[in-house]
Chains A and B, each alone.
Chain A
Amino acid sequence: MKDINSGKELVNKIKSFIKNYDFEIIASESKSELTRFAESYIHQNVAEADLNLTVKIINENRIGTVRMNSIDEHTISKNIEKAIEVTKITPKLDYHYRLLTPQSYKIKSKYSKDTADFTPLNRAQLVKQLIKEVNKREYEAAGAFKTEESTLLVANSEGVFAFDRGTKVDFNCVITRGNSTAHTSFIDSDINNFSINKITDELLETALKNVEQIEIDPGVYTVILSPEAVAEILNYAGYTAFNGKTIMEDKSFVCHNQGKKIFPETITVCDDPFDELTMPLPFDLVGYPREKIYLIKDGVVKDGAYDHLTALKYNRKCTGNTLSPESASFGALPFNLVMKEGDSTIDEMISGTKKGIYISRFHYVNILNPMSIQLTGMTRDGTFLIENGKLGRAIKNMRFNTSVVDMLKAVDMISKERQIKEGFVGPTVAPYLRTNNFTFSSKTSF
């Protein structure tokens, strides 16, 4: 699918095999390359070209879905026959399945030809430069550097036709010298915005401070979370609490708190494809236009993200958050989580903290209690004491068991600066946060 015309040709080809049935189509094509390094050399270096086609046949409220990664006529016709067969033997849905009607789309994915054309040699040269600099300080570098070009097409028999093309640069790195470590990450659509010098400086600045870690006792602390750490917390909250399906099933924190102001007015979290920092998709996987939805607005719990099936089943409005048919039973996820900025600088947040902890990054976060959004996880790659307004000694890693609800209730400072970080679907835009209620439950030995 080089362009919109080849997308239309593909849809026409598929249509010719479907005949008179209603249908939905998702076609995604990607060219993805990733250079991985560890111990300061490139140890894995891969490239992949793939195209996946999903065809959903709707026959008298019965659905059959087939997926294939070859689009020759034989494969398409054989699979469509199978999907039609499935609709003849499966039971009817317990709600009326309606196809989306044609829509218009206000945004496009960001695309950079330079990213699409970036070569393995280009990536290796930048990795080499990073390695050379960190090796001078006797650190080893490990990480991954991905460049990707992808095309997405969604169409149906009602005339929906949505086509989009985007690029992505995704870089992450950890440098290590014994227990002295640091991490950074970068996401953008355009390789021209990537600076290996900036990355190197950030890594060394943190790593050189993250030495001779001391042990502290578990307990409740004031913490300042980096945008990386905030993004991870937001993604788990989005996953467990703001999925419209779990809200409808009475399995979410939102159910009993909708409309209540339980957080400070400074807390606003939304799914916002229009945010200037994010990398949006213009539509979801049935072709709904993406829109801005509030999950928490000015401290008030609003609502979740809804997919097409949940919206049909519970008579709600789909918010443009439909996932692929393989993930349909999960419900919906926010695609572009965004937390509203505050008015502080990170320097002000640190200088205004008498005693606290700065957290650079979490590891292996998981859900402990979905109703209170209690999460667990470890700190890693740079956790520091803040004493009398100064970032001080590095501390050994700790396990946290903390409720996102309690944590957000106690937020008293948010940074103006926001950063774009990896998310569960699209990226997440997050600021630094200071909260006075963050519970560490145990410690580890490094």
Chain B
Amino acid sequence: MKEILKNILDWLEPKVNYADLRFVQIEKENIEVENGILSSYNVSTNRGVGIRVLVDGAWGFAASNNLNKIFLQETAAKALDIARASALTKKEDVKLAHEDKHIDTYITPITKNPFQVSPAEKIDLLVKATRMMIKDKVKKSEGSFIFYKTNKLFVSTEGSELEQTIFESGGGITAYAIGEGDFQKRSYPSSFGGDYATRGYEFIEEMNLLENAERVAEEANQLLLAPPAPEGVTDIVLGGSQLALQVHESCGHPVELDRVLGKEISYAGGSFLTLDKLNNFTYGSPEVTIVADATVPGGLGTFGYDDEGVPASKSFLVNKGKFVGYLMSREDAFKLGLPSNGAARAENWNRIPLVRMTNINLLPGNLELDKLIGDIKEGLYLDYNKSWSIDDKRINFQFGTEIAREIKNGKLGKIYKNAVYQGITPEFWKSCDGISSEKYWHVWGVPNCGKGQPGQAMHVAHGTSPARFRKVKVGASK
């Protein structure tokens, strides 16, 4: 495949300012079990080539599943035509931040190849876990696993040649307690399908699904009988799983430089973190330090190189409360006179790289969880996302969680259902006065971050440990 791509690159080189070609092949295995019965087992392979060209300072991109050399050459010619059409509205030439030539390979380090574990073993684990959850009012249980092996080959007119093999594993279980005209769900280890990582099957084994199934089902049963969360303004602690989505929506998205520059305004929206705020804006309290780190072992947003051939890196977005950095592609970084921090990622061969999150991590503090909760006289502990929404500049947000626990005089108390909390992003992060220590820190995989037209679902992650926020508006869905 590499030779075919290099031949096309040679053909393109005299016609373009820049070109890159990406071959991507994704193998996927997806297992779903309901109430102890296998409901679906799907395997798929998907492959193709995407060709991106910069001609006269304007972009064109064409992609095809047909790997025949002649057909790919036609696809390259199509990309040239598209770039010439783009130039019709050009304001200035697209320029790319400098990047060194890289020739390298990267393979996700794994212990146990998930594709070499027998389907029967995987199905059996889910069957057992989902059967264990059927108890009392839990009439429905779900469990699922998903595994990916992605091979990527990247070549560019700048001489880069990169081969990457990325393994991903993920899954989880959910219990639904149903009755009294209501239903309540509890998930493990996280909501919306569980947790995900660039790791092998060892990641699934470490989840201890069987050890947690009955507890999760019991919490679902309790939630069905629980009162709704109280309304008011109170102190809260967000558990790591919910905090991951809070970081995602209120920090990860607004620091995407393409949003800031207006490139997503018609669809996903813009950002309140405008260029004038860079190094000049208090995003949160001094407790709050957030990094983009595509090098964290096992993070779902971990890789060797992004889809523009930029090495994975770690950079600060918020440092001790100050807003200090964006997620950037080469094109957008050039506008700020900066190098790219390796955040241009494409979902597959048929999509262009966009500015995307990698692992956006809230760094841990130094508090024990007991101390974090212990300093609250009256409040709520909220965890596991159920609903999320934020305005198109990422300022006004509202989240709902699967479960809330009362905090009274520093101790966890009764369970509440249907909890929601609302806030204004910088005010909320400024109210953060404590983050628990590394002992509680975990990188949560989020496999469904949506962006772009045509749409792209990106696999990203967020390292978090439970954190405390003061005077937050809470209530319950009705």
Contact = CB atoms under 8 A, between A and B. Distances in A.
Nearest to A79: B45
Please report whether the interface of chain A is mostly helix, strand, loop or mixed according to DSSP: strand
A63 B41 contact: yes
Given A49-B65, A90-B119, A443-B396, 12 more contacts: A38-B264, A43-B263, A46-B61, A48-B63, A86-B119, A91-B37, A128-B88, A256-B181, A325-B42, A326-B44, A363-B391, A370-B183
Contacts of B144: 329
Contact of A43 (B59, B82, B351): B59
Nearest to B81: A120
B182 A371 contact: yes
Interface string A94-135: 100000000000000000000000011101110110010000
B127 interface: yes
Interface residues of B, number: 84
B39 A45 contact: no
B478 A372 contact: yes
A40 B392 contact: no
A39 B261 contact: yes
B47 interface: yes
A127 B89 contact: yes
Contact of A124 (B61, B85, B418): B85
A49 B89 contact: no
Contacts of B142: 329
A420 B299 CA distance: 42
Interface residues of A, number: 92
A249 B140 contact: yes
B349 to A, nearest CB: 9
A378 B265 CA distance: 15
Given A67-B43, A143-B266, A51 B65 contact: yes
B85 A120 contact: yes
A49 B182 CA distance: 45
A68 B46 contact: yes
A40 B398 contact: no
Contacts of A397: 391-392, 396
Interface string B37-61: 1111111111110000000001111
B119 A69 contact: no
A51 B47 CA distance: 11
B30 interface: yes
B44 A67 contact: yes
Central interface residue in A47, A83, A90, by most chain B CB within 10 Å: A47
19 contacts: A38-B261, A45-B85, A46-B62, A46-B351, A48-B62, A50-B64, A63-B40, A79-B43, A123-B85, A172-B266, A172-B267, A255-B181, A325-B40, A326-B42, A364-B389, A371-B183, A374-B478, A401-B398, A403-B478
B20 to A, nearest CB: 14
B139 interface: yes
B65 A70 contact: yes
A143 B264 CA distance: 8
Interface stretch (A16-24, A28-36, A153-161): A28-36
A125 B396 CA distance: 38
A444 interface: yes
A174 B81 CA distance: 26
Interface string B105-138: 0000000000000111001000100000000000
Interface of B: 30, 32, 34, 37-48, 58-67, 75, 78-79, 81-86, 88-91, 118-120, 123, 127, 139-140, 142, 144, 176, 178-179, 181-183, 261-267, 269, 350-352, 387-393, 395-396, 398, 400, 418, 420, 422, 424, 453-454, 473, 477-478
A249 B177 CA distance: 11
A337 interface: no
Given A251-B178, A380-B391, A399-B396, A94 B262 contact: no
A5 interface: no
Contact of A47 (B65, B78, B261): B78
A368 B43 CA distance: 33
Given A70-B65, A183-B266, A363-B391, A41 B119 contact: no
Contacts of B267: 144, 172
A128 B387 contact: no
Contacts of A68: 44-46
A441 B422 contact: yes
Contacts of B84: 121
Given A44-B59, A378-B396, A399 B391 contact: yes
Central interface residue in A39, A255, A376, by most chain B CB within 10 Å: A376
